[in-house]
Amino acid sequence: MHAPKHIAIVGGGTAGWMTANLLRHRWARLGVDVTLIESADIGTIGVGEGSTPFLRHFFRTLGIAERDWMPACDATYKAGIRFPGWSEVAGYESYVHPFFNEADRELGNQFFTNACLRRRGQAADANPQDFFLAAELARQRRAPHGPGMDYAYHFDAGRLGAFLRTHAIGLGVRHVVDTVARVEQHENGDIAAVHLKTGARVAADVFVDCSGFKGLLITETLGEPFHAYRDNLFNDRAIAMPTPLLDGEDIPPETVSTALRHGWAWRIPLTTRYGNGYVYSADFVSDDAAERELREHLGPAAEGVEARRLRMRVGRVKQHWRQNCVAVGLSQGFIEPLEATALMLIQLSVERFIADLESDGFGRARQAAYNERVNAMFEGVRDYVVAHYQLNTRRDTDYWRANRANRKISDRLASLLEVWDRGGDFEAELERHGAGLMYLRPSWYCLLAGMGRFPAELRAAPQAITASQARDRLKQLARAFGSHRGHLTA
């Protein structure tokens, strides 16, 4: 087996440092050198503060304990995401997409039963916020931490980058602060070296493009085409604005994603502040009007706070691994941050790259299969995110009406919605699409039921359990969990 001798990573954002850690951790024993080049003149995107539970696996792989990284990154626990304002259906104006826990087994099954009853026109309570432990822990500001619990994190993006940088350098990653000014290619199109502003030349066998939205290597150098998701996902702008967390204020262990007039606003609690932002579409609202709306939404906490305006390139490159270059992070693609999936896609892309290179004896035979797999992951996440917009029932703006009316969705998503709506065999439909969905059965039920996607006319029927009985049971279960703030400061 011939491992690459030298891998050069261009970019020192979260993607660059996650990649550097994973590659060096895995291949240091094979003598693989890793160099990371980042520009002091070009900043990182500076957002990206929520994760999925996959990030736990990332830190476990590297052998980094929560007590070592969480305080250094102002990190908090995340039990799930709450979605107020996406639906106008009575009783379903807000719902939760929880991370699922062992303790959810009993009530979770009763939720699935009720959702199916209601889907078929029988009056049963089926808002996930009444049935899942994560929702109760968030209401009570308790830490979703303990045996059998699944959870994710919130963190300060800048601090996480700094932490990962220190760790990677400790693993032996070479860190170069300089700007790539020119890229040198071999005759066969492979990248031979990057030339830096100070005159240095860095040659390598494999290059990883972590240069952000512009895709310095994959797009600007190799010319890989970009497959935009514009037909499916309208949002292309964001405004970020932090607000203070008051001293002693309880810390909610959840992200809140509130629908506004032309998009949605995130609220991410850290131990020191809230991260907030508005994700919207420039086709429907101006940047100034969006900023005004966000300030209004945040209230007095936003007074005097500077806003950061960002543009988003939503979609993915067609081939993430081309020639001797693999693109990771914003350079490979981005799905708007509604389900906070970008770091998960970074991690899964790098893990698959490692597995495929190793299984092929460090050749390139698996390049096509790799690209197919990564594209399938992107499309799986995209469909789940698009479903939120399809299911919205807001009537206040053209933005929400256009999202609901948009028929340019994948055949897979169209089929899932059709089977759900006609009361067909949804379980079989989920199974038919298998792992390609990325999101599993409970997530689809929570989204469809949580938005109140049910027939308007309902017949009375015996149900598995009422919402108030379920809530009483959740309160009992939640007693075993300590306060979120207490857990973070213990």
Ligand X SMILES: Cc1cc2nc3c(=O)[nH]c(=O)nc-3n(C[C@H](O)[C@H](O)[C@H](O)COP(=O)(O)OP(=O)(O)OC[C@H]3O[C@@H](n4cnc5c(N)ncnc54)[C@H](O)[C@@H]3O)c2cc1C
Q: Are strands 255-259 and 80-84 parallel, antiparallel or unpaired?
A: parallel
- Tell me whether residue 177 or residue 480 sits nearer to ligand X (CB atom): 177
Other residues' Cβ atoms within 10 Å of the Cβ of residue 234: 21
Q: What count of residues does the chain have?
A: 490
User: Which of 288, 258, 292 lies closest to 276, judged by CA?
Assistant: 258
13 belongs to the binding site for ligand X (CB under 6 A): yes
Say if CB 47 and CB 275 are below 8 A apart. Answer: yes
Say if CB 98 and CB 86 are below 8 A apart. Answer: no
- Tell me whether residue 240 or residue 474 sits nearer to ligand X (CB atom): 240
Tokens representing 104 are 């959810």
Closest CB 210 distance from ligand X, rounded Å: 5
Distance CA 208, CA 16 (A): 8
Query: What type of residue is 382?
Result: R
Give every CB contact of residue 450 below 8 A, 6+ residues apart in sequence.
83, 87, 92, 95, 96, 97, 127, 128, 129
**Quick one: which segment of 182-190, 298-306, 324-332, 363-371 binds ligand X (CB under 6 A)?**
324-332
Instruction: Report the site for ligand X in 148-177 (rule: CB under 6 A).
Output: 157
Per-residue contact flags (x/-) with ligand X for residues 342 to 381, judged by CB under 6 A: xx--------------------------------------
Active-site residue set: 78
User: Which of 254, 272, 257 lies closest to 336, judged by CA?
Assistant: 257
Closest CB 58 distance from ligand X, rounded Å: 11
294 belongs to the binding site for ligand X (CB under 6 A): no
DSSP of 425-471, one letter per residue?
-HHHHHHHHGGGGSS-HHHHHHHHHHTT-S-SS-EE---S--HHHHH
Instruction: Report the site for ligand X in 232-261 (rule: CB under 6 A).
Output: 238
Closest CB 85 distance from ligand X, rounded Å: 19
Among 16, 263, 333, 452, binds ligand X (CB under 6 A): 16
Closest CB 354 distance from ligand X, rounded Å: 18
**Quick one: which segment of 61-69, 86-94, 102-110, 208-216 binds ligand X (CB under 6 A)?**
208-216
80 belongs to the binding site for ligand X (CB under 6 A): no
Closest CB 113 distance from ligand X, rounded Å: 33
263 belongs to the binding site for ligand X (CB under 6 A): no
- Read off the DSSP letter of residue 324: T
Distance CA 297, CA 258 (A): 9
Distance CA 47, CA 31 (A): 34
Instruction: Indicate the helix (H) or strand (E) that contains 333.
Output: strand 333-334
Among 7, 8, 9, 10, binds ligand X (CB under 6 A): 10
216 belongs to the binding site for ligand X (CB under 6 A): yes
Among 340, 413, 437, 467, binds ligand X (CB under 6 A): 340
Residue found by looking up tokens 């970009």 in the block: 226
Instruction: Report the site for ligand X in 20-79 (rule: CB under 6 A).
Output: 37-39, 42, 44-45, 47-51
**Quick one: which segment of 93-101, 210-218, 226-234, 391-399 binds ligand X (CB under 6 A)?**
210-218
Residues found near ligand X in the complex (CB under 6 A): 10-16, 37-39, 42, 44-45, 47-51, 157, 179-180, 210-212, 216, 238, 277, 310, 312, 329-331, 337, 340, 342-343
